[in-house]
Amino acid sequence: MKFLILAKRKFYSVRQLMAELSKRKISVDFYTYKDITISVNSGKLSILVGDKNIKHYTHILPRKHSNKIELNIRYILAKYCNKHGIRMLNKDVLLAMPHYTKLYQMYLLSENGIPYLDTLYLSSGQYNKIPKLPYTYPVVLKKIEGHAGNEVWLIHNEKELKTFLYNLKYKRECILQRFAPVNEDVRLMIVGQRVIGAWHRKSLDEFKTTAGEREYKNYDNPPIELKTLGNKVGKLLAVDYGAFDVMYYKGKPHILETNLDASFKAYETKVGTQNDMAKLIIDQMLKSR
């Protein structure tokens, strides 16, 4: 048995996963996405990680990608591992949702009856002709590939929106979302397609719960409606490990975002959970799928 971890660097979650594998005396290599070489020789595809063939590994743990190229590599790895019997974390999610963006999440979740805040995709780039919104300002503007609360802005009126978009360098890569002025949400932690814990986040100085001064609270026993929603989305996407951000709007929980690469540092070090996330993830990876 041989594990491969792919990540930009050895963040907390990666270190915890490597320590858990070491504890179990399971061999593991660490590489970045830049260490991957994909080639075709005499009609046969070859994927190398460093100087090792990808088939050298029985299990692959890909962590956060930084750009579209790395996302494409993850998708190719998912297809390749699916064909060649290599266990890869969240492989089935990538196969079901190859375009892992907020736009594709909007499509997939809403088409399957998952409560999702009203959202508009800006595709034309003609920002002097903003479509009439079915909801009022302020609105939340998001880059469709942003993460960790980056590339998210609160826009107060149409004039501000036009000026902002005109000066934005990624002009066709945004969504507009209804603003729910509650400045708090719940992050559901998912392992094996089900909710195994949660934590509550409250912003103390701005509208985003993922930035600025925040208040964390253990929520490992969320109400049944949150567990039901999280389990439904976990099963829909076939998630091995991830996190879903949920916000209440008009008394009903709505999915804000799904995250395949959620860090669990804050959850373990600030929230006070008893869950050992690295252990749970490795246990899930060792199950046959």
Report the pLDDT averaged over residues 213-229. Answer: 88
pLDDT in the model for residue 146: 59
Which pTM does this prediction carry? 0.87
pLDDT in the model for residue 105: 86
Q: Is residue 263 predicted with pLDDT exceeding 60?
A: yes
pLDDT in the model for residue 212: 46
- Residues making up the chain, counted from first to last: 289
Report the pLDDT averaged over residues 171-190. Answer: 83
Cβ atoms of residues 209 and 202 within 8 Å? yes
pLDDT in the model for residue 150: 64
In the three-class reduction of DSSP (H, G, I as helix; E, B as strand; rest coil), residue 83 is classed as: helix
Distance between CA 107 and CA 123 in Å, rounded?
Answer: 15
**Which of 19 and 139 is assigned the larger pLDDT?**
19
Percent of the chain residues past pLDDT 70, beyond the cut: 89
pLDDT in tens, 103-140: 888 888 999 999 998 888 876 555 666 777 878 889 88
Query: Residues 20, 22, 25, 28: what is their CA dihedral angle, to the nearest 10 degrees?
Result: 100
**Cβ contacts of 253 within 8 Å, gap of 6 or more:** 115, 186, 225, 226, 229, 246, 247
Provide the pLDDT confidence category of residue 210 given band limits of 50, 70 and 90.
Answer: low
Report the pLDDT averaged over residues 146-169. Answer: 76
